[in-house]
Structure 1
Amino acid sequence: MRALWLAEGGEFVPPGAGDFDLPPIFLGITKPMVLAVLSIAIIIVFFLMASRRLKVVPSRFTFLAESVYDFGRNNIAREIIGSKDFMPFVPLIVSMFTFVLVNNIFGIIPIIQFPTLAHIGFPMALSVLIVYPLWNYLGIRRHGFAGHFKHQLVPPGVPKPVLFLLVPVEFFVKFFMNPITHGIRVFAAMFAGHLILLVFTLAGQYLLLEAGGMLKPVSLISWAFAIAMTFLEALIQVLQAYIFALLAANYIGSALSSEH
């Protein structure tokens, strides 16, 4: 990242969107790309190590892995998709939850300190290239091509004259806006949270190194806010991973449901 205070005159330059545009590390490979691959490796190793020596009384590490899996399986997939259809989608929901969670948490880990999903391409790829093609495929397979569109666009009991206005709106929302907003939710939260942390951290640095003597102690207040915001950001990172997986399960469930 570029320096956020200028040596000449000590003028403070606040962080902005340009600070998320990281230069390539090697041959066009950027830090977010490396972190995305690293997160996959971490998740695979985590579950492999937890399932290596299964016992009747699990170790704390195994219990943690089982809790993560159980949360994705029962609290998200089963609860939202339904007990009849949820099992084939448990790997997808658990994978999405853990992938988003690990990449979000990268934003508060020292040295790494970058939430991968603050780059909009990653959450949009998950929503536009995975969730929504699957949503359409499942809906068409369950209800037929025309039935899928009718199932999604025509609520039961709506008077026919209203459908002339309602159907175009429903089509725009469900087939264009939902894929976009699904990814934007987590992107916006990670982008804004990381930006706030940068503001407080670098403002503290500026006040300590560049401000006058009376203002230097204020740097401690700025860093205290940065620490407090880090804990809040950790909570938001977990919630956003849950919300992303929850919405994915909701769209899958809506495609498979017999009722609108």
Structure 2
Amino acid sequence: MGALVLAEGATFAPPGAESFELPALFGGVTKPMLLVVLSVVIIATYFLLATRKLKVVPGKGQFVAESIYDFSRNNIAREQIGSKDFKPFVPLVFALFTFILVNNLYGIIPLLQFPTMARFGFPVALSVLVVYPVYHFVGFKRHGFKGYFKKELAPPGVPGPVLPLFALIEFAEKFFLNPLTLAIRVFAAMFAGHLILAVFTLGGTFLLTETSGWALKPVSLVAWIFAIGMTFLEAFIQVLQAYIFALLSAGYIGAALASEH
């Protein structure tokens, strides 16, 4: 067994948070910004082409498009919002699911290899500027200003002595924590997954190219095998996180519309 000997001047700098701070490509525009715009183009183009000539017996493209739409409509929007109220919110749920899905999947696509939801500003923008206003707006519209606050903060059955504390906790959750945790879930999963893949990939490359002894060079192969396995796991998590974001968003809307707390 030979000792681990590094090539002269070689040091391994593990990837960290700084790896997500990408330089501007031109005029202050960064790679994540371009990927977000590209995702909109990809989604719009795909669904326009897939549904341009609808057939009774769908081809593969139409089948996938219809399956994604049906999943967003029936398995997310209808289930969480209710069969009475869900239809106006199907486009929002569908858009959230597909948008986050494509931006997550960037993390395992060669050359792109960057999940844009790993930049905290993007999920925060979706949560705070899109989902948060929608579910509170529909709540106020359905129940009125006073009725909505009463439903959320002082539902029937809460004992009087604990009502102030209950109302304070519910207010913090509904108006501050929900949008923040909605964004944190997808951000943390994409950030951690991308970081793990980078560690295994770069670590394996370092062991192969920057060590003088042969003892640990085979470990580079093990690291790459782990990276491949983690890529499949990350793909599953990317799809799952898109589903969870859309599911919780629909759930918040459904809760805001509900007659009872």
Tell me if both proteins adopt one fold, taking TM over 0.5 as the criterion: yes
The residue number in structure 1 matching 2:3 is none
Cα drift, residue 7 of structure 1: 7.7
> Counterpart of 1:37 in structure 2: which amino acid?
V
CA deviation digits over 1:44-101, x for unaligned, max 9? 0111011111111111110110000000000000011000000000000000000000
The residue number in structure 2 matching 1:245 is 246
Sequence identity percentage: 67
The residue number in structure 2 matching 1:213 is 214
Aligned pairs for 1:184-223 within 5 A: 184-211=184-211, 212-223=213-224
Runs of 4+ residues deviating >4 angstroms: none
Q: Which has the higher contact order (CA 8 A, sep 6+)?
A: 2
> CA–CA distance in 2 between the matches of 1:152 and 1:111?
47
After alignment, is 145-154 or 175-184 more displaced? Answer: 145-154
Cα drift, residue 8 of structure 1: 5.6
Aligned pairs for 1:82-231 within 5 A: 82-211=82-211, 212-231=213-232
> CA–CA distance in 2 between the matches of 1:51 and 1:88?
21
CA deviation digits over 1:198-254, x for unaligned, max 9? 000000010001122211111000000000000000000000000000000001101
> CA–CA distance in 2 between the matches of 1:152 and 1:50?
42
CA 49–129 in structure 1, closer or farther in 2 if over 3 Å, else same: same
The residue number in structure 2 matching 1:38 is 38
Which SS does the other structure have where 2:217 is aligned? coil
CA 162–214 in structure 1, closer or farther in 2 if over 3 Å, else same: same
> Counterpart of 1:172 in structure 2: which amino acid?
A
Cα drift, residue 156 of structure 1: 2.3
TM-score, scaled relative to structure 1 = 0.96
**2:13 equivalent to 1:13:** yes
> CA–CA distance in 1 between the matches of 2:96 and 2:257?
19
TM-score, scaled relative to structure 2 = 0.96
> Counterpart of 1:183 in structure 2: which amino acid?
A
Which SS does the other structure have where 2:221 is aligned? helix
Which SS does the other structure have where 1:197 is aligned? helix
After alignment, is 171-180 or 90-99 more displaced? Answer: 171-180
